[in-house]
Structure 1
Amino acid sequence: MLRLWVSSAAPLSARAVVNTRAFCEAHMPGRYELEILSIADHVERAASDEVIAAPTLLRVWPLPVRRFIGDMSNPARLLDGLNLGS
């Protein structure tokens, strides 16, 4: 289960949505859940997830939670940062 936190006004967040969806389809086709949330629309939940910047991608399952902040365009960095495989 992945959760992508974005800022609706930020161009980097819009690119993060596209890049994250492409990453998931390329590396986990049919084996992932992706939840996309706006920090502005879900302030309390973002605080609970300890989101301090956008975009932030959380791997919330399996535990432990892993987080990746920033540019989602490099698949190798995402795989490593989220501990999703070699």
Structure 2
Amino acid sequence: MNIEEEPVYILRLFVAGASSKSVRAINNLQGILEDKLKNKYEMEIIDVHQQPEIVKSDDVVAVPMLIKKFPGPERRLVGDMSDIQRVLRGLGLLV
């Protein structure tokens, strides 16, 4: 990777089906990511009911939960992702 290149963020968003809080988290997060990281992120949306093995391996204790896998350090955010400043800090985009 060239030093000038920005990293591609690897993210996992854990949700509980189509609950209103989960849908809000997906929509809020997609808006933030498209605004701040357009074409520089990969997000996997995981339904905790459909993929319990991933939930267990990632030690998910609440939903919706966003896990930033890369670049390090790993960060976890819980909630509907409506607090833009908090999400940006969690992603390391705001000091």
TM-score by length of 1: 0.91
> C-alpha deviations, 1:21-58, integer Å up to 9, x for none?
11100110111111111001110111111111110001
State the one-letter code of the partner of 1:45.
I
- Of 51, 68, 72, 2:60 maps to 51
CA distance in 2 between partners of 1:47 and 1:84 (Å): 28
State the one-letter code of the partner of 1:3.
R
Unaligned runs of 5+ in 2: 1-9
CA distance in 1 between partners of 2:61 and 2:29 (Å): 19
Moved over 4 A (4+): none
How many residue pairs get matched?
86
Identical counterparts, % of pairs: 40
> C-alpha deviations, 1:56-84, integer Å up to 9, x for none?
00100112211000120121110112323
CA RMSD of aligned residues (A): 1.2
Aligned to 1:34: 43
State the one-letter code of the partner of 1:20.
L
CA distance in 2 between partners of 1:74 and 1:26 (Å): 14
Larger strand proportion of the pair: 2
State the one-letter code of the partner of 2:50.
D
Unaligned runs of 5+ in 1: none
**Are 1:68 and 1:82, in contact at CA under 8 Å, matched by a contact in 2?**
no
